[in-house]
Structure 1
Amino acid sequence: MLVIPSISMHDGWMELQQLRYVVAVAETSNFTRAAERCLVVQSALSHQIARLERELGARLFERTSRRVRLTPAGTAFLPAARQCLDAAERAAAEAAAAVGEVRGRLAVGLISTVAAVDIPAALRAFRERYPHVRVGLRVRASEELVEQVEQGAVDVAFLGLPTSVRPRGVHAHELARDRLVAVVAPDHPLAGEQVVDLRRLAGEVFVDLPARTAGRAESDDAFSAAGLTRDVAFEVTTAFLIARLVEQGLGIAMLPSAYVPQLTGVTTIEVVDAPTRVEHVVWSRDGATPAAAAFLAVLGVDDPGGGSAGATSRT
């Protein structure tokens, strides 16, 4: 793997390892955990960060006995440090790809209700084909994932958005469209119904995703368009927890119909005027990394600049 040992400064050397240490401390807010992540002893990590601070002439972290946080200088330094590390990693991956080997990292992001792709199976197929790629996975809201793809923190992300919303600032490929259904406890009064409408549901207590997220907007917009309001008493971040609260009779929910077969202990009801959500896979507008392109190929999706995926769009 290609190694870029240092970056020239005015009167010293800024090493990539120092940048890695700064990013690790910033992300963990703890020197001990950062050292564990970087597989070094804490004293070595602290020494290198102190050395970098001397070279920069600015403190990057405020250290107290209770916490570690970025100084204004550290906040300004962090984005460029991440970009530098990403560039070095991508340079190494591109060099490996030029001789036919896919290396580097693959950071995958997804919402908790992905149904268009069997993510664990896809990741397993990818790892079997490309064992030298380090794969990471994170679950976030759709709008946060788009931002992380733009910033390079995530390579490929799976989103769920209302039909009125298109991913912006990234390459996007539509995977599937699906209608939401109502999910209730088996002993709920509505459990015996086969079909309901939004007006019938509006009087119920709801469990849903946090306000101002794309997943929540799917339902909020539908009720609003119908001139209805509803009571969302429970806001949680995962579909699994939504289903558990519904199972206990604490509220009802609306979830994608393709996702709910994975759930147990709840009853599904069709909603005649339910909203539609669209699942997308997105990646960097600058083009996929070699590892990301290889993963997209496993899914049957190609980077627009790399060949045959006519269904892929740049938005």
Structure 2
Amino acid sequence: MGPRVKIDPRRLLDLLSVAKHRSFSAAAAAMNVSQPGLSRSIALLEREVGAKVLERGRQGAQLNAMGRALIFHAEALEALLERASEDIRLRTLGLEGSVKIGVTPITAAGIVPRALEILVKAAPKVHVSLTEGLDSEIADMLRRGHLDLVVSRIGSGSNDPELEEEELFYSDWGLIMRVDHPLSTRSFVRLSDLKDVRWVLPAGGSAFRQQIERLFAASALGWPTRSINTNSILAIKAIVMSTDCVSLMARGLVEVEVAAGRLRVIPLKGVGSQRPVGMTWRRNDKLSPIATRLVEILRRVSKDELIVPKQGPEVRRGKGRRRRRSGFP
């Protein structure tokens, strides 16, 4: 191994500014520094890493491969500094700190609200920021340091070296419908029974959609052509309650509507369990005390889910697995 490269973090932020503005002059103006001073900073950065990081041409300054590799860390550094500034601001207002969570529509309507209820009762001075998005979107925000924790379906096999996952629980598939639907008297159904129904299904880009696509691909049905597509759990439930459409969902996501007599859930046979719901965080970063507290609450709440139990949650590290260790990530 060669000598360890030492990089001045200020030069990473300078590189990020040039990359954002695509020219030295615009970046210098935005940072309120001189253009020659910014050029010297980038030159020193290139000396530190031993390679060029920008290509200068008619279209301005463009990142090369080395520059793109550094930008990931520059964005994470910028996000970390922004979080530090935000935490200081919150503490001056008398708050304890903040936690930023990424969720998908499924977890936004399920386990996360229950965990947050416990958290804010135990720590009322905590500031919570919740971002809902597609799996790929919130995973990217997590990598770049804009989120502390993501709660979503996990186990897609990506083996991202930057991220670590922990399984919380598994759910069985259920077919949801309005209570007076023609199928509502059945004790269970199979996909082969559903050739003529109209579906409400998740739109593209989510892990839930990908899993349902595999489910239909493995059946004789193929992907339903008679379907309404949305990534809104609330919209899916509302459409099912007011039409003859059906959908696939975990029972825990519709327990309120089932208890109120608005929806019926019928077990779906022969399709196996859904992918696990779990937590994801950056592998090499230490979680804040508030995020650590939320992780433990999520573990406790997950035990109360309507789940198909497995032999305890597991942590995924790279391509291997091991059982969840005691304590916090």
Measured against the shorter chain, the TM-score band is: 0.5 to 0.7
Deviation at 1:166, TM superposition (A): 6.3
Deviation at 1:194, TM superposition (A): 1.7
Which residue of structure 2 lines up, in the alignment, with residue 172 of structure 1? 165
Deviation at 1:124, TM superposition (A): 3.6
Show the 5 A alignment for 1:144-223: 144-161=137-154, 165=157, 168-169=160-161, 170-223=163-216
Which residue of structure 1 lines up, in the alignment, with residue 287 of structure 2? 289
The 2-side partners of 1:214 and 1:121 are apart by 22
Q: For residues 297 and 187 of structure 1, do their structure 2 counterparts lie closer, same or farther at Cα, with a shift above 3 Å needed? A: closer
The 2-side partners of 1:172 and 1:121 are apart by 20
The 2-side partners of 1:159 and 1:217 are apart by 13
Deviation at 1:128, TM superposition (A): 4.5
The 1-side partners of 2:313 and 2:194 are apart by 40
Alignment of 1:270 onto 2:263: no
The 1-side partners of 2:80 and 2:194 are apart by 50
The 2-side partners of 1:131 and 1:81 are apart by 33
* 3-state SS in 2 of match to 1:146: helix
Superposed CA offset, 1:144-184 (max 9, x none): 322222222221111125x7646634111111011111112
Deviation at 1:239, TM superposition (A): 1.2
Which residue of structure 1 lines up, in the alignment, with residue 277 of structure 2? 279
Superposed CA offset, 1:89-122 (max 9, x none): 5668999xxxxxx954311111222399642342
Q: Does the CA contact (< 8 Å) of 1:208 and 1:232 recur in 2?
A: no
Alignment of 1:52 onto 2:50: no
Show the 5 A alignment for 1:1-315: 51-52=30-31, 55=34, 82-88=75-81, 104-114=97-107, 118-130=111-123, 133-161=126-154, 165=157, 168-169=160-161, 170-229=163-222, 230-249=224-243, 251-263=245-257, 265-277=262-274, 278-290=276-288, 291-300=290-299, 311-315=314-318
Deviation at 1:224, TM superposition (A): 1.0
Q: For residues 51 and 279 of structure 1, do their structure 2 counterparts lie closer, same or farther at Cα, with a shift above 3 Å needed? A: closer
The alignment of Structure 1 onto Structure 2 pairs a total of residues equal to: 255
| Structure 2: unaligned runs, 5 residues or longer | 1-8, 21-26, 39-58, 89-94, 301-311, 319-329
The 2-side partners of 1:55 and 1:293 are apart by 43
Q: Does the CA contact (< 8 Å) of 2:201 and 2:229 recur in 1?
A: yes
Q: Could you tell which deviates more after superposition, 84-93 or 234-243?
A: 84-93
Deviation at 1:199, TM superposition (A): 0.7
Amino acid at match of 2:243: G
Which residue of structure 1 lines up, in the alignment, with residue 49 of structure 2? none
Q: Tell me the TM-score normalised to structure 1 length.
A: 0.65
The 2-side partners of 1:249 and 1:243 are apart by 10
* 3-state SS in 2 of match to 1:149: helix
| Structure 1: unaligned runs, 5 residues or longer | 1-6, 24-47, 59-70, 96-101, 302-308
Q: For residues 103 and 74 of structure 1, do their structure 2 counterparts lie closer, same or farther at Cα, with a shift above 3 Å needed? A: farther
Deviation at 1:281, TM superposition (A): 1.0
Q: Tell me the TM-score normalised to structure 2 length.
A: 0.62
Deviation at 1:246, TM superposition (A): 1.2
Q: Could you tell which deviates more after superposition, 243-252 or 286-295?
A: 286-295
Deviation at 1:248, TM superposition (A): 1.9
The 2-side partners of 1:249 and 1:167 are apart by 40
Q: Does the CA contact (< 8 Å) of 2:108 and 2:132 recur in 1?
A: no
The 2-side partners of 1:201 and 1:227 are apart by 11
The 1-side partners of 2:193 and 2:119 are apart by 45
Q: For residues 283 and 253 of structure 1, do their structure 2 counterparts lie closer, same or farther at Cα, with a shift above 3 Å needed? A: same
Q: For residues 240 and 116 of structure 1, do their structure 2 counterparts lie closer, same or farther at Cα, with a shift above 3 Å needed? A: closer
Amino acid at match of 2:281: W
Q: Does the CA contact (< 8 Å) of 1:93 and 1:103 recur in 2?
A: no
* 3-state SS in 1 of match to 2:173: strand
